[in-house]
Every structure is written in C-alpha cells, then in structure tokens.
Structure 1
C-alpha cells in the first residue's frame, strides 16, 4: 500500500478506507498468502460477508494496525 489516502474497495465508493480485509482463495493461493480489500465503515460488513460466504475472509483489522504490522518496503 502506498502513502496515498487509500479508498474503499466497494464498487463506486470513494470514501477513505479505515479497514483492511485480509483474504485468500485457497484454490489459487498458498495458505499464508494474503490479498487485501480496503473498506470504509459503511462497507466493512458487506465486503466481509461477501468474502466470508466464500470461505475467503481471514482477518479484518484497522488500516493503522495493518500498516504497523506490514510496513511498506
């Protein structure tokens, strides 16, 4: 992730993201791999449910926590 203000991954949403939804598709990714979607407060639940129903959702953390745990190279 860059230092730009990240925006929500929900279709059409341009609101600042405050959540990171870490996920992977076990048919495509190794178990330790994490892809990410970003979410604003309004879309956190709907995006989480979309991933959870498919068995993809692994974790939901605040953007600040994610950045602290995964510093940019």
Structure 2
C-alpha cells in the first residue's frame, strides 16, 4: 500500500447513510413519539445520538420493517 493512499474504511464514503429524525420515522411508521422511543429503548430499532439529536439510519428502519414482516409471515 502506498503511504499516500487513504486507508480503507468499513463503508465507502461515496454512499453516505441517510439519517432520519424521530419525527420522520414517526411519519413513516405512523406511530407516536413514545412508541418510536420505546422501540429504540428496547433495541428493536437502532439509532445513534449526535449531540442531543437522535437519528435513525434509514437502512436500520428498512431492516426493522423487513424483520417485522418476516415475523408476521411466520
């Protein structure tokens, strides 16, 4: 590896992860604020905290929905 080449990262920076706010997730799932925070608190929905702001990666929301659909189908 050339010393001037950037070190590889786990995720390519050319495709940034979309981060959703709690109100955006509320609208997409048509659930209330306390229901969303309950999903986060129980680790059913992954999130990150940036300062005082809570963000949910869009991919995590998609995974949550897929998992719930699979559970319902079983």
Name the TM-score class by shorter chain. Answer: under 0.3
* TM-score normalised to structure 2 length: 0.23
* TM-score normalised to structure 1 length: 0.23
Larger radius of gyration: 2
Higher strand share: 1
Higher helix share: 2
